[in-house]
Amino acid sequence: MERTDLRAATRAAVRPATPRQRAARAASNGGEPTLEFAGRVPYDAYVQASTLHRLQTPLSDDPGEMSFLMVSQIMELYFGLTCHELREAQRLLRADRIWDALAPLRRAALHLEGLNAAWHGLRWMTPADFNRFRNLLGEGSGFQSAMYRHLEFLLGLRDEALIRPFRRQTEVYAELRAALAAPSLWDDVVALLARHGHDLPAELLDRDVTGEHQPHPAVEAAWVRIYDEQAGPDNHLRLLGEALTEVAEQFGDWRWNHIKAVQRTMGAKVGSGGSAGLAWLQRSMARVVFPELWSARTAM
């Protein structure tokens, strides 16, 4: 079903109402909730709760596996939600609507905070707990999350080799290739700085965006100047810098929490997806999101 048709069907099931209609319904119910519906419960039609709760297929009878599976699914939803917000921020920044872009960036940071909180649901897991079902996962690994790759690409962490596992999933692969070919959020921020009078070299603005952005002293200098200006509601670029810093910090926390979770549940064993596990994750932490926004702080 096309998205527009699905939206129309959902609206019909949810039954949108005006404030006057809601008041009339409450009056006719004597203040009690509506208990009779002609079809599907509107909440379920909107949230798709019954569908969500059928999407878990544990591979063992171990009761802890459900926790591992559902927390992984919750993280996938947060990856997608954060990507949604970052794309909206990109759209607004490309239109020079800096003030408006702050809202989706702040929401993205809060979603990443929720993503970090999801790790708490796995703090009970010891190596013995994980080992009861780990072998059944085969080569399944969080490394293979396509939505996480979308999130990394949006944040400027780019490695074309990491989309190779999806080559035989043609639709997923095409979406990842398109994401890799499009500017990252940081690329759009750098272009914004140039449009607002900061002197940035042409080779930086016209670079091949499929490759990972390399820190540049001109971008760092631009942020130093922005932060040297008077703080206040009129310094939109400074507010943008702080919103981006919060996003980068929350994402960094997620990567660090991932390392701690791996240490707790499997130590330095090799990863399920063929990597070195903990050592591979530790190396990945060296790739910094929005690097000049951090290095500029040394020169401020």
Q: Binding site residues for heme, as ranges?
A: 258
The DSSP letter of residue 270 is: P
Q: Are 248 and 113 in contact (CB under 8 A)?
A: no
Q: Say if CB 229 and CB 239 are below 8 A apart.
A: no
Would you list which residues are annotated within the binding site? 134, 258
Q: What is the largest CA-CA distance in the chain?
A: 69
Residue 142: closest CA among 123, 134, 170: 134
- Residues flagged as binding site for substrate: 134
The closest of 285, 287, 292 to 253, measured between CA atoms, is 285
> Could you tell me how far CA 204 lies from the centroid of its own chain?
26
**Residue linked to tokens 């670079």:** 207
d(CA 141, CA 159): 18
